[in-house]
Amino acid sequence: MNEDLIAEIQALSAIGSEEKFSEIIRLLKNSTLELRGKKNPDLQLSASALVFKKHKLFFIEHPYQKELLLPAGHVELGEKPLETAIREFHEETGFSASESGKLVDVNLINIPYNKIKNEKEHQHIDFRFLLELKEKKAGLAELPFFLLDRTEAPDEFKKYYQYKR
């Protein structure tokens, strides 16, 4: 069911944390429910966008968790994680990113209970893509966004500054 996702992660595992990727692959192989479109209340797919403007990375303020995160969102039914990262970056920042991207990381994220949406605690398998910024601002941003250099970024994201061009 999730063979395409597993193949993407296996390509990454040669350069990353084998233990982390093995756990994520195990979850994908054992999942009998659709992970796209919030169908599974326990495990869902999300995708994040790593987009630089010069030496700074785009971050958004999460509307519920009130912390700085990468622009990201749920993978919808019929959508690939790369498409999600591109779509969410545009929706959340108003900027556009290139139609191609490079998968640079996959993480298992614990999502806390959301009182506002009445969503139970669950996990996301989050695909993180390096995307290229298109210079023109295309629309309104859904969320407050920030351009941060490595010294300003939350610790979790500092490792991604190695990808800036």
When pLDDT is averaged across residues 6-17 and rounded to a whole number, the result is: 76
Percent of the chain whose predicted confidence (pLDDT) is above 90: 62
pLDDT in tens, 87-104: 999 999 999 999 889 999
What domain range is 111 assigned to? 34-159
In a domain, 24, yes or no: no
In a domain, 56, yes or no: yes
In a domain, 47, yes or no: yes
In a domain, 8, yes or no: no
Cα separations in angstroms, 109 against 53, 87, 104? 26, 20, 16
66 burial level (CB within 10 Å; 0-12, 13-18, 19+): exposed
In a domain, 135, yes or no: yes
- Residue 139, number of CB atoms within 10 A of its CB: 11
pLDDT score recorded for residue 76: 96
Sign of CA dihedral 23, 7, 47, 75: negative
In a domain, 28, yes or no: no
103 burial level (CB within 10 Å; 0-12, 13-18, 19+): middle
In a domain, 3, yes or no: no
The model's confidence at residue 15, banded by pLDDT at 50, 70 and 90, is: low
Q: How far apart are CA 149 and CA 55, in angstroms?
A: 6
The answer to whether residue 34 scores a pLDDT higher than 80 is: yes
Question: How many domains in the chain?
Answer: 1
Q: pTM to 2 decimals?
A: 0.90
CATH of the domain at 109: 3.90.79.10
Q: How far apart are CA 58 and CA 146, in angstroms?
A: 6
The answer to whether residue 1 scores a pLDDT higher than 90 is: no
Q: How far apart are CA 115 and CA 76, in angstroms?
A: 22
In a domain, 153, yes or no: yes
